[in-house]
């Protein structure tokens, strides 16, 4: 019984410790706040800490800060953006200092923990869009996902592979 308890405790600790954001910030994050609520009324949630993620749309630099426009997506158990084709909207990340736009470029996945600091209205196409603004405390830029291509052994496509190689003169009825 003690072994199972220890095993479960260690595995839970490993899962929690793999988060891209520090434990201190994670304790301040309010999980009851949803992106939709903050998108509708960003000024009422000013100062609240959130954990959001998504795909970078654009990165621009200003005098003392970097602005990152992000298309919001859901986060998985690792706090990595998931379901990249579904989004509830966009938000802005404000980071003090310089972040290289060549690294933080369009299409990269990002997770940010920070405080809501109101909204900023910027053009989006022909219309004006109200972006909720997050003052970043911690940012995690994810590695690019590798393309998964399964490698099949030769006998997976031919059910008579071993039979033919054991009896080389045997012919398959369909001529394989």
Q: Torsion-angle region of residue 79: left (phi > 0), alpha (psi -120 to 50) or beta?
A: left
**Per-residue model confidence (pLDDT) at position 134:** 95
142-163: per-residue pLDDT in tens? Answer: 998 877 666 655 555 566 665 5
Helix (H, G, I), strand (E, B) or coil at 139: strand
Break the chain into its structural domains and give their ranges. Answer: 21-141
What's the pTM? Answer: 0.71
Q: Find, among 35, 27, 52, 55, the residue nearest to 113 by Cα.
A: 52
pLDDT, averaged in runs of 10, over the chain (176 residues): 54 55 86 90 91 95 93 92 91 94 94 94 91 94 79 58 57 57
> For residue 79, what is the DSSP state?
S
Per DSSP, the residues of 125-161 read TTEEEEEEEEEEEEEEEPPPPPPP-----GGGT-TTH
**Per-residue model confidence (pLDDT) at position 27:** 87
CB 119 within 8 A of CB 130: yes
**Per-residue model confidence (pLDDT) at position 125:** 87
Class level of CATH domain 21-141:
mainly beta
Q: Find, among 67, 169, 163, the residue nearest to 120 by Cα.
A: 67
């Amino acid at each position: 019984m003690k072994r199972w308890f220890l095993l479960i405790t260690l595995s839970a600790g490993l899962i929690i410790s793999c988060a891209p954001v520090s434990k201190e910030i994670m304790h301040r994050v309010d999980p009851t706040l949803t992106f939709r609520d903050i998108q509708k009324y960003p000024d009422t949630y000013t100062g609240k800490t959130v954990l959001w993620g998504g795909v970078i749309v654009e990165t621009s630099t200003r005098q003392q800060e970097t602005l990152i426009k992000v298309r919001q997506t859901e986060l998985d158990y690792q706090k990595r953006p998931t379901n990249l084709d579904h989004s509830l909207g966009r938000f802005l990340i404000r980071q003090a200092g310089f972040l290289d736009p060549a690294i933080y470029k369009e299409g990269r996945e990002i997770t940010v923990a920070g405080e809501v600091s109101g909204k900023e209205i910027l053009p989006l196409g022909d219309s004006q869009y109200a972006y909720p603004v997050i003052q970043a405390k911690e940012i995690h830029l994810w590695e690019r996902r590798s393309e998964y291509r399964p490698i099949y052994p030769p006998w997976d496509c031919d059910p008579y592979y071993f039979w033919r190689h054991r009896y080389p003169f045997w012919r398959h009825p369909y001529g394989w």
